[in-house]
Structure 1
Amino acid sequence: MPVITEIADLKRIYKRRVPKMFYDYAETGSWTEQTFRENTSDFSKIRLRQRIARDMTGRSTASKMIGQDVAMPVALAPVGLTGMQAADGEIKAARAAERFGVPFTLSTMSICSIEDVAEHTQKPFWFQVYTLNDDDFMKRLFARAKDAKCSALVITVDLQMLGQRHKDLKNGLSAPPKLTPKSIANMMTKVPWGLEMLGTKRRFFGNIVGHIDGIDDPASLSSWTGQAFDQSLDWARIKELRSWWDGPVILKGILDEDDAKEAVNVGADAIVVSNHGGRQLDGALSSIRMLPRIMDAVGDKIEVHLDSGIRSGQDVLKALALGAKGTMIGRAFVYGLGARGQQGVTEALEVIRKELDTSMGLCGERNVADLGRHNLLIPKGFHDAFE
């Protein structure tokens, strides 16, 4: 067994183990992938300020996200098709998050259903919804999440239409995968993955198939999905959706100061600064570059989290030092899941926590709550280089 010391170790195993179709689904952005690349590379532009001769005993990464105690301010982001990265993937990831003490967010486009995950976990998890134009389905989805005792609702607001992801189109991405000569040849090289998938009944979108009339196969699902996203979405509609849920609501996909202010106005409990992992508007700025501007605009009025580009504990530290109260990881936990199942997700979380804890100590801080811009060396123009 290889020794796992960084997220890149899990990514290498993941690439070997999972079919190309699903690896590419995770490891891709839209169009030229400029934003996808800069989500990670912009973190490296921020440097850390080393401090010495401070008592570093008794360090803690424990914190709160939307009032919930967390072992560190990191939540597992909603990722569609997680159950195709590993058999029963959402259940495995949720269990790992639960035992580690961080939130897990289930995607509407998951393979395992809300009910599946609730049945196999002990603590409440978060549930993510898209802004769809089918009110009947949406209200039933909210009710199912409430019945499953989900502790927060994450509304994704940056997907009124799909950004074009070239690799997904060329691979013919679907769940279960379409059997073509090319996909069969690739899957034949992924025997352990295939054997696990044969051993589970969960291979379709569990929150959708069987819950909408006429959706009973991949073709009908694809047709429905193409027309389901609400392109007429406005802030009045977001406010209406928020009123359907009586618990904490997080709006994910905020990348502009004015939109952050609107999120405050509609009564959101938190926002996630995110560009959908570079999978929507290519050419948009990275999340970490936009974070300071959004914090300056609304940081004292609403809880702010950051998503997109986090691959290490130092990335988490930089987001927290810029003012975020929490972060989300997507690809980082998917690498672990695809590489080694539930154990791999735990290893990804352990890697991030260790690096966060060690880096925090070397910066002269004992608690994540004390991190601030004083811990960073930020290049001139980092967040205001563009007009």
Structure 2
Amino acid sequence: MSPSNHPPAGPVLADRLRREAISVPALRLMARRALPRAVFDFSDGGAEDEYTLRRNEAAFGRYAFLPRPLDGAPVRDQSLRLFGMDLSMPVMIGPTGLAGLFWPGAETLAVRAANNAGTAYCASHGSVCTLEDIAATGAPNRLMQVFVYRDRGFTRELTERAAQAGYKALVLTLDNQLHGKRDRDLRNGFTIPPRFGLADTLAMATKLPWLLRMGRELPTLTFGNYRREGQPSDIRTLAARMHDMFDPAMTWADVDELRRVWKGPLILKGVLHPAEAAEAVARGMDGVIVSNHGGRQLDHAVSSIEALPGVVHAVDGRIPVLLDGGVRRGTDVVKALALGATACFIARPYLWALSVGGEAGVAHVLELFRDEIDRAMGLLGVTSLRQLTPEVLAPVPSLGAAA
């Protein structure tokens, strides 16, 4: 079903979002109730023991705010210009494969919600629809995710398609060349598309809205960007083929080649080491994203917010530094910006919102972040993002009891 055939949020859904979806953690609980367990865990889980997954969120607690309310902040401005895009807020939607598993037409609905909110959307290589379908929405602020494949010709093909479709920037993801071991998916026997055992089927009575929405979509679900004329395009075949396409032998020479092919802003995603960030600047990258793939790849990797100061220092203001991983509150965004990030991406929060409200859910979660950032700025006594510096933070070695 095309997104245009989905009706806008009615008063019942809008009222429910206002009453229940008061925060990202609340949206997560709503998504857990709405989705089959295997589908929810696919979005919620991380690699192995999920140490990095948990630390991504918890490490924001290492920083406390030092407000100066007498500086006065009657009006706060969250706007910024980034990679040729004018954004109304420092939160963008990051790339997430198989978003169409959570709501029909997910990618096109999400890019539309991002556009209406005045922010940007990064299309995943593993989107259910094609990158051209996403571009056809007319939303201008779009980025495209690519990888270095064993078939370098396919890397170039996706890059050229992104250029032809008018994507503003290319995001080369570095940390998915070997697939992480995700224990929750293994325990659930998660497959693409999902197969449900007897217990899952019996439990499905509580997931009827999802089943009714997705029932006609699941048999035709696929990876739109990987379809080839005259070749099998079912998702199981494509998933098996994709597993072997990523090349763990990639090097900086591949990055240099992509830099020659792509003429627009080129951003490296998955940078945690300061030396790699410095090398990215030296090789002409236009930005880096501090990211550990949401804790879904290498467990026990450093958290994104812990890695951020070292990367910012190495880059030394020469290119923008962005962050994803563990961002659950507007205060997390404010802390990241105070430590030198230019903006943040969200992934799981938008999938949870999508699961309970489609396009209206995505619009809602972006407004949650906007409101929480605005409130934090006002209480800190700052009026613009430029005033978010390390001086508004105090490091705390551990969290004590709440007052």
TM-score (normalised: structure 2): 0.90
How far apart, in 2, do the equivalents of 1:249 and 1:270 lie? 7
Q: Which position in structure 2 is the counterpart of 1:149?
A: 166
Whether the 8 Å contact between 1:235 and 1:262 is mirrored in structure 2 is: no
| Cα shift readout 1:250-284 (whole Å, capped 9, x = no counterpart) | 11000101111121122110000000001111111
Could you say if the C-alpha distance between residues 4 and 189 of structure 1 is closer, same or farther in structure 2, counting changes exceeding 3 Å?
closer
How far apart, in 2, do the equivalents of 1:209 and 1:182 lie? 33
Match of 2:139 among 122, 141, 151: 122
Counterpart of 2:206 in 1: which secondary structure?
coil
Moved more, 73-82 or 133-142: 133-142
| Cα shift readout 1:190-227 (whole Å, capped 9, x = no counterpart) | 2111222235586211111336x644233422331221
How far apart, in 2, do the equivalents of 1:34 and 1:117 lie? 34
Whether the 8 Å contact between 1:80 and 1:109 is mirrored in structure 2 is: yes
Q: Which position in structure 1 is the counterpart of 2:113?
A: 96
Counterpart of 2:297 in 1: which secondary structure?
coil
Match of 2:244 among 214, 222, 227: 227
How far apart, in 1, do the equivalents of 2:84 and 2:134 lie? 22
Whether the 8 Å contact between 2:84 and 2:168 is mirrored in structure 1 is: no
Match of 2:223 among 205, 212, 225: 205
Moved more, 201-210 or 64-73: 201-210
For the pair 1:267 / 2:284, whether they are aligned, the reply is yes
Paired residue type of 1:210: R
Q: Which position in structure 2 is the counterpart of 1:323?
A: 340
Q: Which position in structure 2 is the counterpart of 1:298?
A: 315
Counterpart of 1:230 in 2: which secondary structure?
coil
Whether the 8 Å contact between 2:193 and 2:236 is mirrored in structure 1 is: no
| Cα shift readout 1:39-72 (whole Å, capped 9, x = no counterpart) | 0000012101121223212211111222321111
How far apart, in 1, do the equivalents of 2:40 and 2:149 lie? 27
Which structure 2 residues correspond to residues 68-83 of structure 1 after superposition, within 5 A? 68-83=85-100
For the pair 1:365 / 2:345, whether they are aligned, the reply is no
| Cα shift readout 1:221-257 (whole Å, capped 9, x = no counterpart) | 2331221110111111111122221111111000101
Q: Which position in structure 1 is the counterpart of 2:43?
A: 26
How far apart, in 2, do the equivalents of 1:121 and 1:335 lie? 25
Q: Which position in structure 2 is the counterpart of 1:347?
A: 364
How far apart, in 1, do the equivalents of 2:21 and 2:107 lie? 22
How far apart, in 1, do the equivalents of 2:209 and 2:221 lie? 16
Paired residue type of 1:73: P
Could you say if the C-alpha distance between residues 120 and 185 of structure 1 is closer, same or farther in structure 2, counting changes exceeding 3 Å?
farther
How far apart, in 2, do the equivalents of 1:162 and 1:81 lie? 16
Whether the 8 Å contact between 1:257 and 1:293 is mirrored in structure 2 is: yes
| Cα shift readout 1:337-382 (whole Å, capped 9, x = no counterpart) | 111111111111111111111111111101112110000011369x
How far apart, in 2, do the equivalents of 1:332 and 1:373 lie? 26
Query: Which ranges of structure 1 fall in alignment gaps of 5 or more residues?
Result: 382-387
How far apart, in 2, do the equivalents of 1:284 and 1:132 lie? 24
Paired residue type of 2:330: G
How far apart, in 2, do the equivalents of 1:275 and 1:29 lie? 11
Could you say if the C-alpha distance between residues 341 and 162 of structure 1 is closer, same or farther in structure 2, counting changes exceeding 3 Å?
same
Paired residue type of 1:18: L
Match of 1:335 among 352, 359, 374: 352
Q: Which position in structure 1 is the counterpart of 2:206?
A: 189
For the pair 1:107 / 2:124, whether they are aligned, the reply is yes
Match of 1:257 among 266, 271, 274: 274
Percent identity reads 37
Q: Shift of the alpha carbon at 1:124?
A: 4.1
Match of 2:328 among 305, 311, 319: 311
How far apart, in 2, do the equivalents of 1:215 and 1:140 lie? 19
Moved beyond 6 Å, runs of 4+: none
Query: Which ranges of structure 2 fall in alignment gaps of 5 or more residues?
Result: 1-15, 399-403
| Cα shift readout 1:64-90 (whole Å, capped 9, x = no counterpart) | 222321111111010111110111111
For the pair 1:36 / 2:53, whether they are aligned, the reply is yes
Q: Which position in structure 1 is the counterpart of 2:263?
A: 246
Match of 1:10 among 11, 27, 34: 27
Moved more, 248-257 or 113-122: 113-122
Q: Which position in structure 2 is the counterpart of 1:66?
A: 83
Paired residue type of 2:284: G
Paired residue type of 1:50: P
Counterpart of 1:86 in 2: which secondary structure?
coil
Moved more, 350-359 or 144-153: 144-153
Counterpart of 2:225 in 1: which secondary structure?
coil
How far apart, in 1, do the equivalents of 2:316 and 2:90 lie? 16
| CA root-mean-square deviation | 1.9
